[in-house]
Structure formats: C-alpha cells, structure tokens
Amino acid sequence: MVSHYIFSQLVLFALLWLFILLHLTWPKRPVAAPATPTEEPEPLTPKRHHSNEPKPFEGLTHKPHCALWERETPHPQAPPPVPPDPMPPTNRRPRGVDSSRQFCPHAGCDYRGWLGLGNLRANGHPSGGPWRQFHCTSCKGYFLETHGTIFHGKHAAVERIVHVLACLAEGLGIRATARVFEVDANTVLHWLVEAAEQLRAFSAYFLCDLHLEQLQLDEVYAVLRARKAGEISEEEAITRLEHAPSWVWTAMDPTSKLLVVVEVGHRTVAMAQRVVHQVTRVLAPGCVPLFLTDGLKDYATAILSHFGQWMHPERRQDKGPRPKPRWMPLPGLCYAQVVKSYRRRRLVGVTHRVVFGTRLAIEQVLATCGWTINTAFVERLNLDIRQRVAAIGRRVNTLCQDEAGLQQQLVLFQVYHNFVVPHSSLRQRLLVPEPPHGRSAAKVWRPCTPAMAAGVTDHVWSLKEVLGYRVPPWPQPQTV
Ligand SMILES: [Zn+2]
C-alpha cells in the first residue's frame, strides 16, 4: 500500500516537473501574444478621426512671440528717400550705351541709388580695362559698371568666377570645384561668401510685394559634419549635431515653384517664427496665402502670430465684465497640415489636419490647380536642394559645413533655382513656333523660370547676368 502511495506521489511530481519544464521551454509566443494587438493597425482610429474634425479655435490671450518682429518694431526701416526729378534731356547725341541698370553709388549725391533719371553718361573704358565707366552729371563722380558686384576689382576672368559659382550652384563641393578650375579652395570659398552677400540683396530686391495663393513649408535635416571625420568621438559628434542648427527650412509657392524663403536653424518654434516672418516680408500687404506644412506644431504658432489679429469675443451673458480680447487668425487664413505617420521608418498613413479655416475653403483654393491637400512640391524641392547643395546630406568633406557656409550655399541655390534654371513644368507653348535653326528642331516651347512664373521678371537670367546685376539700395518707382 505504501509503495502504491509513493508511486502516485512520484507520478504527481513527474507531472509537476513536466509542467514546469513545459512552461519554461515553451516558445515565448503565448507570452508575447497580448502585445500583438498593438501592432494591429488602428486601435486608435476613433481618436484620429476625432482630431480631424474641425474644432473651433478659441484664440490666445497673448500674441505669440517673434524675435524678428520685436527687433524690427522699435527700429522700423526708414522709408526710401523720394527720388529727385529726372535730369532734363540735353542736346547731345542720343546715348548708344544702355545705362538703364546703372545708378550713381556716391554718398551725398541726390541721384544715388535711382535708376533711369538721366543723370548718367557712358564714359568708355578707363585705361583699356574690360569694364565701362559711367559719369554722374549731378555729383560729377565716376564709377565702373561693376561697382558693388563680385566682378569689381577682381583680377580673375569673369567667365572663371561665373563658372566656379555655377559649379557650386550645380552641387559640386568647394574642394572639388577648386580642383576642377585649379584655384585655391579658399579663393572659391571667398567668392562664394562675396557672391552670397550680393545674391541675398538680389533676392530681397526682386522678391517683394508678391501675391501668392499658396505656400508649402517644410524643413529638411542637414548633415553638418565636423571638419574631419574621425577626429572626434562619436559621442562628441552627436552632441555637436544636437547643438548644430542642422535643419534647412524652406517655403515655396507650389504654383510658380518660387523658393520664397530658405533658412538654416534649429527645429524650434523660434525658427518657425523666423521663417514665417521672412514670408510676410516677401508678400504684398494684405496677401494671406493658403499654408500647407507637415505636422510640426510650431508652424501653427508661427502662422497664427503673423497672420492673426485681436478680436473681442461676444458676451455670453448680458451682465458681467466684457471677455478679454483674444488673438485670433485672420478671417481669410487657411492652414492645413499633412501628417505622416511612420512605423519602422515606413510610411503607414497620411492624414490631413485643417488647423485654420475650413476644409471647403482650402479645397476651393486647391481645386483651381486640380490638387488636394499635399506638401509634395516642397518635398520635391528639398530633394533638389539635397542634390544641389553639397554641404547637405552627402558624405563629402566640404569646407563649408558650418551654419554660415551652408546659408551661403543656400542663397546661391535660391537665386539659381528662381532665376536661372528653367523649370520643365512651367514651360509655355509658343503661339508661333520658331523655325528650325541649323540641325535643331523647331522651337515650340518657351522656357520659364519660377521667377518668371511668379511675375517677378520677364526672362531667363544667366548666372553671369545675375552676378553682374547692380542691386539698387531701395525699391524703384514702377515705370509705367
Ligand atoms: Zn551722383
């Protein structure tokens, strides 16, 4: 009997042991099983749907802060001086030299900075040099036609400077460009810095008072690397990257492809403010375009602070104090976000979030182009920037990897993209095709740049023409 009892105990132990073994060695799947439902798509869908529904925006009690605004308000830019009367025509023979793009640069001259007032005389080429001299009949001063441009006072050939900068604009790095032209890399960098200063003024002069219907804004990550890879530890590199202003912010008009703003900085609300502030400088007064961005929430703050106004909410009750004024979006402001969700670096969903305005109003603006809510155009442009700006996102050692250097390359890219390179989607069919020329076929299309499509200029510029353009110090009166 005892042995039978022991036997049953043993069987029980064996069963218990088997159970424990099985439990320990069983594949982990049953344990992981409760986790699988989270991988199932959209347990959160009801919530997402909820966020899609337009909620009435209640306004802010404080206007959001913009550093540029606060810097400009106490020191508003002086209005441009009043142009003097044009010089009376003289009885001399009519001028053969075009002086329509020239202005007197001399401080103290009444005609300084004004185009086409008849105060200039072409004066030939002093000591047989390549550049023409002009004479101002008002201040009796002389200046060269290259005054204030990158060509002024350079010994290097004009074509060489233009080709070097064109190479940089096409995306070749500084060192590579220096090797191609057998120039010192520092010379190339020096020319880039000089050109960037001039091109910044060029952009500011031409990109103003724009009437734009839509703007797409985006920010792209730039790999700013330390001067020499391997010199610093990985940890140090990462901390540097975190502190490095390594985002390129862009704002573009999807209709004309005009690159309106390009800036380098952190991915912060202050930077979003800066970008939207630059946008307001470019737009005509009263122009409120439709804004489309990615899901970065800082854009909403920045757009609201620059396209908002104080409103007095209605009283909810007959008595009691008046409600405090609230900072509300302008009535015509429309803003939508394209929110992309990623899982394991793969795009798994795109939702459109209307932030200001109504979905209907936004769709009406887009319908004229046959589009829906998207940020595809600015993303395409950012791809172009990646290919054309050597300092971003490519594993090359460029001299130009700090913030200022990147900014200069981007200024060059901006002008090159807007004024020099015709955009294939913008080309216009000629009413009368040009007859074939030699071996080439008849010309049916007229090339068109973003600046032409935006009505800023009437022709495709060459880089040489851009670099030789003397930018007047202030806007000129419209010639009728
Ligand atoms: Zn003068």
What's the chain's average pLDDT?
A: 82
Say which residues have a Cβ less than 8 Å from residue 275's Cβ, sequence separation at least 6: 217, 249, 251, 261, 263, 302
CA distance 353 to 336: 6
Residues of the chain with pLDDT > 90: what percent?
45
Please tell me the distance between residue 148's alpha carbon and the centre of ligand 1 in angstroms.
Answer: 15
Band the pLDDT of 39: cuts 50, 70, 90. Answer: very low
Please tell me the distance between residue 117's alpha carbon and the centre of ligand 1 in angstroms.
Answer: 11
SS3 183: coil
Please tell me the distance between residue 133's alpha carbon and the centre of ligand 1 in angstroms.
Answer: 13
Please tell me the distance between residue 382's alpha carbon and the centre of ligand 1 in angstroms.
Answer: 44
Beta strands in 91-232 (DSSP E): 120-122, 133-136, 142-144, 214-221
Please tell me the distance between residue 479's alpha carbon and the centre of ligand 1 in angstroms.
Answer: 21
Please tell me the distance between residue 285's alpha carbon and the centre of ligand 1 in angstroms.
Answer: 33
Residue 4 to residues 10, 13, 15, 18, Cα–Cα distance (Å): 10, 14, 16, 21
SS3 356: strand
For residue 333, what are its two tokens? 């402001």
Please tell me the distance between residue 87's alpha carbon and the centre of ligand 1 in angstroms.
Answer: 12
Please tell me the distance between residue 145's alpha carbon and the centre of ligand 1 in angstroms.
Answer: 14
Please tell me the distance between residue 137's alpha carbon and the centre of ligand 1 in angstroms.
Answer: 7
Q: Is the pLDDT of residue 227 over 60?
A: no
Please tell me the distance between residue 346's alpha carbon and the centre of ligand 1 in angstroms.
Answer: 62
In the chain, % helix, strand, coil (3-state, to 5) comes to: 35, 15, 45
Say which residues have a Cβ less than 8 Å from residue 273's Cβ, sequence separation at least 6: 64, 65, 66, 67, 68, 69, 298, 301, 302, 305, 306
Band the pLDDT of 334: cuts 50, 70, 90. Answer: very high
Q: Give the residue among 122, 72, 67, 70 at the shortest CA–CA distance from 92.
A: 122
pLDDT at 425: 87
Please tell me the distance between residue 134's alpha carbon and the centre of ligand 1 in angstroms.
Answer: 10
The model's pLDDT over 228-275, given as tens digits with 9 standing for 90+, comes to: 444 455 555 545 554 555 788 999 999 999 999 999 888 889 999 999
Please tell me the distance between residue 96's alpha carbon and the centre of ligand 1 in angstroms.
Answer: 20
Band the pLDDT of 94: cuts 50, 70, 90. Answer: low
Please tell me the distance between residue 122's alpha carbon and the centre of ligand 1 in angstroms.
Answer: 13
Q: Give the residue among 221, 207, 350, 369 at the shortest CA–CA distance from 290.
A: 369
What is the full DSSP assignment across 108-135? T-TTBT-SSSS-EEE---GGG-SS-EEE
Please tell me the distance between residue 467's alpha carbon and the centre of ligand 1 in angstroms.
Answer: 23
A 10 A CB-CB count for 38 gives: 8
Please tell me the distance between residue 118's alpha carbon and the centre of ligand 1 in angstroms.
Answer: 11
Q: Is the pLDDT of residue 25 over 70?
A: no
Q: Is the pLDDT of residue 338 over 70?
A: yes
Q: Is the pLDDT of residue 143 over 80?
A: yes
- The alpha carbons of the chain give a radius of gyration, in whole angstroms, of 31
pLDDT at 225: 53
Please tell me the distance between residue 143's alpha carbon and the centre of ligand 1 in angstroms.
Answer: 9
Q: Is the pLDDT of residue 397 over 70?
A: no
Q: Give the residue among 279, 162, 295 at the shortest CA–CA distance from 215.
A: 279
Please tell me the distance between residue 138's alpha carbon and the centre of ligand 1 in angstroms.
Answer: 5
Strands 214-221 and 290-294: parallel
Please tell me the distance between residue 160's alpha carbon and the centre of ligand 1 in angstroms.
Answer: 31
Q: Is the pLDDT of residue 98 over 60?
A: yes
Q: What is the mean pLDDT of residues 304-325?
A: 83
Q: Give the residue among 134, 128, 57 at the shortest CA–CA distance from 95.
A: 134
Q: Is the pLDDT of residue 151 over 70?
A: yes
Q: What is the mean pLDDT of residues 401-422?
A: 85
